[in-house]
Amino acid sequence: MSKTKLGLLATASALVLSMGAAKADIVIATVGPMTGPYAAFGEQMTKGAEKAVADLNAAGGVNGEKVVLEIGDDACDPKQAVAVANQLVSKNVALVAGHFCSGSSIPASEVYFEEGIVQISPASTNPQLTERDMDNVFRVCGRDDQQGEVAGKYLAENYGDKKIAIVHDKQAYSKGLADETKKNLNAAGVQETMYEAITPAEKDYSALVTKLKSEGIDVLYYGGYHTELGLIVRQMRAQGMDTLAISGDALNSLEYWSITGDAGKGTLFTAGPALEKDPRNAELVKYFEGQGYKPEGYTLYTYGAIQAWAQAVTKAGTTDSEAVIEALHSGASFDTVLGSISFDAKGDVAAPGYVFYEWENGSYDYAN
């Protein structure tokens, strides 16, 4: 093994929280941004995974074996994601419910593919994740070519006569979503006034805001995460701008409002169905709320990813990855918190598409 790979494994050892598996236990993992600016999403994934594992074990485990959870922190950094993936290989994990950021999921998937580990992402929407003939890679969320179609058509139909800016932060998810939205907007005969890229994790976006203001932008479509858009919106309002902000599914964290305050009112975003609002999930939601936690965003998507895997293992009668992958690709339906789902040949989920949400009074709900 090269010194580089040894170094990656040593680094990753501090990034994976071991829960202590016994020899006969089935080890699975969830990996996402447990630290860094997007840690709110890592918390969602952890909460969902922990509850899914607890519920599986309370029901007798999977094929009679106890399931043990590892939690990996990739901080949405591609290199760190690969380091964590290599560490999980050494722990013989049967499933990775992750990653969150597409920019992490895609390079990590190369490791999982090489090692025959099942990967089901609850959140990575970049189309390329499932476009590389990797039979072990799945997702229970939608794709940005689907999300961008919804957003682009919405912009064209509702704001086609307004000045629209499209901005992204250069990351795989962000640029992919922005470009898909632009493609669909342009296909509808509408040309954006501005197309810009910013650097993520900065504290001051006044240069962008000043340019938006000078161009008289009416609608800002942002491909990226809640942390950066929260600052942009706050800085727009500080400059007296009433520009409408619209974004994608990385805005489904209550942390957005903690950044914007009342400035976030009216912000729109697309995302999959709010699973916490589904009456079928009422008991599960009640459990989380009893723990003082709102199971928003990707909490239940992570839970559902683990459910699908567990049912595939039961169907296969083994945790052997080839058999489980075959079960997941069989066209069979899996009864999950997302409803009855199945996967296509690429590993994409057959499930309800994207809908719009609106921010108001510290939370978000389906837009009218």
Domain boundaries, the chain: 26-142+277-341, 145-271
Could you identify the residue written with the tokens 């580089």? 4
Three-state SS for 346? Answer: coil
Residue 8 confidence (pLDDT):
45
Three-state SS for 355? Answer: strand
- Checking DSSP bridges between strand 164-168 and strand 194-197, what pairing results, if any? parallel
**Hey, do 26-142+277-341 and 145-271 end up sharing a CATH topology, with the first three levels equal?**
yes
User: Hey, how many other C-beta atoms are within 10 angstroms of the C-beta on 317?
Assistant: 11
* Distant-in-sequence, close-in-space partners of 353: CB < 8 Å, separation ≥ 6: 142, 146, 150, 272
User: What are the pLDDT tens digits along the chain (368 aa)?
Assistant: 443 444 444 444 457 765 555 547 999 999 999 999 999 999 999 999 999 999 999 999 999 999 999 999 999 999 999 999 999 999 999 999 999 999 999 999 999 999 999 999 999 999 999 999 999 999 999 999 999 999 999 999 999 999 999 999 999 999 999 999 999 999 999 999 999 999 999 999 999 999 999 999 999 999 999 999 999 999 999 999 999 999 999 999 999 999 999 999 999 999 999 999 999 999 999 999 999 999 999 999 999 999 999 999 999 999 999 999 999 999 999 999 999 999 999 999 987 789 999 999 999 999 98
- Say which CATH architecture domain 145-271 belongs to: 3-Layer(aba) Sandwich (3.40)
Residue 195 confidence (pLDDT):
98
Cα separations (Å) of 123 from 29, 102, 187, 304? Answer: 15, 8, 27, 11
Choose which CATH entry (3.20.20.110, 2.30.30.240, 3.40.50.2300, 1.10.3720.10) describes domain 26-142+277-341: 3.40.50.2300
